[in-house]
Amino acid sequence: MTTTETPNNVDNGVNTAALLGAREQLSAAPEAAEFIWRASCSWVHGTFSTTTVDGFSGLGTDHHHKTQYTFDADHPECFASEDRGATPTEILLAALASCLTGGVASVAQHRGIQLRSVTAKVEGTMNVLGILGADPDIRNGFSDITVRFDIDADASPEDIQALVAQSQKRSAVYDIVTNPTSITVGVV
């Protein structure tokens, strides 16, 4: 049996009550739960591009972030590029790690587990013969991703394991990476 009551002295900075309230309200009004997330990318030079994230839609209206966020992406020098940003694959690893880490904090709050520190080391293995088009049997993407959490918290090793497992279960990016997603790419 999981615990729903969050002891008052546990504070991971997550507003569990608001999230549980939203879950209840959105279950009753499922159309408000339909969100659209957006990003806009502009080519700069070579493999260097900048992507901005500004606003999204949900709860029946448009929203803006407090500020516009920018992501610089490029390829490293060993790929004959200028290395003016992280590779897109690294940005994906960052998205995965941050999604799981945010999930760990949320689930811990919900379960009354006080966190002291959480770090996640992510590695994606890739044989670049795939993207170079040199071997048709090798896929472009990662052959394997490993995430290693190091968590200091007031909880048993089993509870920490369950925390990380539940975070994966509720993670958007984990789902996007592990399951097929339909993608439509068009040209204006």
Partner 1 sequence: MSATPVHVSAVIIGAGHAGLAMSRRLSERSIDHVVLERGEVANSWRTERWDSLRLLTPNWQSQLPGMGYSGDDPDGYMTMSEVTEFITTYATTISAPVHTHTTVTSVRASESGYTVQTDHETWTCASVVIASGGSNLANVPAIAAAVPATITTITPMTYRSPDALAENGVLVVGASATGVQLADEIRRSGRPVILSVGEHVRMPRSYRGRDVLWWMDAAGISDERHDEVDDLVRARHLPSPQLIGTPEHRTIDLNTLTDLGVEIVGRLGRVMDGVAQFSGSLANVCLMADLKMNRLLQNFDDWAETTGCSDIGPKHRSESTRVPAPTRLELDLVANDIGTVIWATGYRPDYSWLDVPVLDNKGRIRHIGGVVDDAPGMYVTGLNVLRRRRSSYIHGAAADSEELSERLEHHLARA
Instruction: Give the shortest CB-110-to-partner 1 separation in angstroms.
Output: 11
| Nearest in space to 74 (alpha carbons), one of 51, 93, 54 | 51
Of the pair 27, 42, the CB lying nearest partner 1 is at 27
Cβ distance to partner 1 smaller for residue 84 or 170? 170
Tokens representing 154 are 């007031």
- In the bound state with partner 1, the residue whose beta carbon lies nearer, of 14 and 145, is 145
> Do residues 96 and 176 touch, judged by C-beta distance below 8 A?
no
Per the CB < 8 A criterion, the answer to whether 85 and 73 are in contact is: yes
**Residue with Cβ nearer partner 1 (77 or 158):** 158
Torsions phi, psi of 169, nearest 5? -60, -30
* In the complex, minimum distance from the CB of residue 158 to partner 1, in angstroms, rounded to a whole number: 7
Least CB distance to partner 1 at residue 1 (A): 6
Query: Would you call 122 helix, strand, or coil by DSSP?
Result: strand
Per CB under 8 A, residues contacting partner 1 are 1-2, 4, 30, 143-144, 158, 161-162, 165-166, 168-169, 174-175, 177-180, 182
Side chain identity at residue 144, one-letter code: D
